Structure 1
């Protein structure tokens, strides 16, 4: 009789706890599961916090780190009006390699965006090894003092196009004579553009940017406690999502409510 009574009492207690679990608890558990899923696109895989996108909802990372996936082939990230192909993400050193999407098929597409490359400098910055190339379009066919400048073709009659690195001494002449220009960062090792490499290959190799994650150390602590790092739109943007459905500002407790609930059945 006593054993039956204890079993019935345990079931009643379990039912009581399950009925008072709020929808927010279930949602929190779902968030833990969803934010455990990495971002995968093409050959770029296992990308986690602070990035979101793909199967990672908005609460899994910061909105400034939202990634898209173009045709299931490669990731993209946007800064203002420009889109960039993501070539690599080094999560250990917080470095991304990106390339302007509008220049990947040629330095002068049919509808180029004649705007300089810009970043979200609150969260990203250039690597010290990056160097700028300036591409000049619609220049006179003959411009004096351009020894060392290299030209490229856009198929326009009676005009010339040049690209130079930031150390080129005649750059002011090009700014004066050419109608349009854009500034594009490239990897410092390729900035001098040797003849065997060529402009297009240099543009396709992109450039490196640091990304700032002020919550990186906090995220390590969250992960060590069994949690998953997430995003909260409130004044405290970091949240540690716990396996038991709890959400903590720093790290998870070592004791989980689910363990307690199921222990009642033992």
Structure 2
């Protein structure tokens, strides 16, 4: 095509679009909503299945709502527990999370073991469990190693009470006196976390808890979402019967976008580029 004719066509197209009412070329508002990445503190550029703050509910899946009332990290809730999200790897579908009630402390505010929503989350192989026992009876002798002892203050208890943590190996050994402890919770940590007395038991335990642990997250419509994104759409949520939907520039589709918006169609029509 002659360059002058192509230029003339583009000018004509620009004038044509300029005089059209906005409704002719406005994008679907849900497409615009879900184009925005989730951002909170250090976590940025996160998309489907996560939603919250600037991403409405129809831009994500149930169970993936993220709060943002911490200055550094977003928070996700499982039952009564809240977890700080330290990292999200969307390419691997892995989150690194840490219990908020154990952030900067080894004494929990709630006597609850860590619970996930196992329908969509699970621990990775890089995780191991430790069990924390609080407000335990005084013992003249205990077979638990010194490096597994720490102190904490629970509400309504003495300032310096006896507390212990046991790893998966020690958990196989019976310690009858631990049954008398007032509190006990099970907490995942990274398998390569090292807790020893050389750095001080309490600081080392704090560091292991602050590093958090990795969980896999699973959403069954990942393949459909990949197809939707490649077709120029944004993944979203419709309802429990048909949860996945692809929001396109010109409306909703079940899996992927099939039509072009007015501008791209008109451009190809006038210039012969399509």
Tell me the distance in 2 between the aligned counterparts of 1:131 and 1:89. Answer: 20
Query: For residues 119 and 98 of structure 1, do their structure 2 counterparts lie closer, same or farther at Cα, with a shift above 3 Å needed?
Result: same
Q: Structure 1 residue 194: deviation in Å?
A: 2.7
Q: Structure 1 residue 161: deviation in Å?
A: 0.4
Q: Structure 1 residue 100: deviation in Å?
A: 0.3
Query: For residues 149 and 166 of structure 1, do their structure 2 counterparts lie closer, same or farther at Cα, with a shift above 3 Å needed?
Result: farther
Tell me the distance in 1 between the aligned counterparts of 2:137 and 2:240. Answer: 55
Query: For residues 158 and 258 of structure 1, do their structure 2 counterparts lie closer, same or farther at Cα, with a shift above 3 Å needed?
Result: closer
Contact kept, 8 Å, 2:136 with 2:178, in 1: the verdict is no
Query: For residues 222 and 54 of structure 1, do their structure 2 counterparts lie closer, same or farther at Cα, with a shift above 3 Å needed?
Result: same
1:249 to 243, 250, 254: 254
2:120 to 120, 123, 141: 123
Unmatched 5+ stretches in structure 2: 1-15
Give the match for residue 213 of structure 1. 219
Q: Structure 1 residue 174: deviation in Å?
A: 4.9
Aligned residues: 244
Unmatched 5+ stretches in structure 1: 1-9
CA deviation vs aligned residue, 1:159-198 (integer Å, no higher than 9, x gap): 30011112104454354232210000000111x5133361
TM-score by length of 1: 0.82
1:182 to 181, 185, 198: 185
Q: Which moved more, 1:251-260 or 1:38-47?
A: 251-260
CA deviation vs aligned residue, 1:217-258 (integer Å, no higher than 9, x gap): 1111101111111111141111011012x2111100143356
Tell me the distance in 2 between the aligned counterparts of 1:174 and 1:104. Answer: 28
Tell me the distance in 2 between the aligned counterparts of 1:237 and 1:215. Answer: 9
TM-score by length of 2: 0.80
Contact kept, 8 Å, 2:152 with 2:160, in 1: the verdict is no
Cα RMSD between the aligned structures? 2.8
Contact kept, 8 Å, 2:137 with 2:177, in 1: the verdict is no
Tell me the distance in 1 between the aligned counterparts of 2:224 and 2:175. Answer: 48
Q: Does 1:161 align with 2:160?
A: no
Give the match for residue 73 of structure 2. 74
Contact kept, 8 Å, 1:149 with 1:164, in 2: the verdict is no
Query: For residues 176 and 234 of structure 1, do their structure 2 counterparts lie closer, same or farther at Cα, with a shift above 3 Å needed?
Result: closer
Tell me the distance in 2 between the aligned counterparts of 1:100 and 1:71. Answer: 13
Q: Structure 1 residue 215: deviation in Å?
A: 1.1
Give the match for residue 4 of structure 1. none
